Amino acid sequence: TLNILKSASKEPSIKSVVYTSSSTAVLLPEANKEIAVTKDTWNQKAIEMAYQPDPNGYVVYGASKTMAEKAFWEAIEQTKPPFQTSAVLPNTNFGPILDGGEGSSTGSFPIKIWKGDTSMMNFIGPQYFVDVRDTARLHVAALIDPDCNGQRIFAFAEPFNWADVIDVFKKINPKGDFPAPPENEGRDLSKIPNEDAVALLQKHFGQGWVGLEESLRENVKGVDGLKVQ
């Protein structure tokens, strides 16, 4: 992160830098708990937990993302580069996979569930999702819009849980044999300042968020030869 900023500062043609952060830089979601997130929220809890004995891998991931984005903004404050800077914080990404494979990271989760693999349900609880195309759009908007300078842009479209995913799959393929979601998994009740992100999508692309159903349909297109409409 810091080396990229140093290199960018040496190139006068660069006008804007967008840093890809993560939702985990602000919080690790907890089901049925209202958490009010602001643009000044940091996941300090994950950092503290990461230095405890035998930390959970997801906690360590969140701590690393928090510390990395903090370092980004601290470097901006210290060096005051000549270009505009912003950060996009995406949550769970669903949506189309361009290479036709099963994807990686969270993009692979819907395909795995479609095929009966529920392993991710054991460690990924209810949280927000965002369509990968909206994540890309927000990066473009942040790059070109001067109003984004110095801003954290929250790519959190809407909350979901695994029951929602299974419900969409049953709608796509009513005859499908899909696994049952976890019992009593609850909801992500976090309050996220994503209004600016919606405004950017509308301003630059004439649309709001891609919804969960559309995103999941695109995510599983081509799975086992399925012709998703």
Does any domain span residue 72? Answer: yes
Tens of pLDDT along the chain (229 residues) come to 899 999 999 999 999 999 999 999 999 999 999 999 999 999 999 999 999 999 989 999 999 999 999 999 999 999 999 999 999 999 999 999 887 677 778 889 999 999 999 999 988 999 999 999 999 999 999 999 999 999 999 999 999 999 999 999 999 999 989 999 999 999 999 999 999 999 999 999 999 999 999 999 999 986 766 655 5
Over the range 25-64, which residues count as b (16 or more CB within 10 Å of their CB) and which as e?
A: bbbbbeeeeeeebeeebebeebbebbeeeeeeeebeebbb
Residue 137 CA to residue 170 CA, distance in Å, equals 29
Give this prediction's pTM.
Answer: 0.93
Residue 229 lies in a domain: no
In a domain, residue 130? The reply is yes
Instruction: Report the CATH number at residue 188.
Output: 3.40.50.720
Contact 181, 58 (CB under 8 A): no
Domain extent for 206: 2-223
Q: Is residue 51 part of a domain?
A: yes
Instruction: Domain count for the chain, please give it.
Output: 1
CA distances (Å), origin 161, targets 110, 122, 126, 167, 195: 12, 12, 5, 10, 22
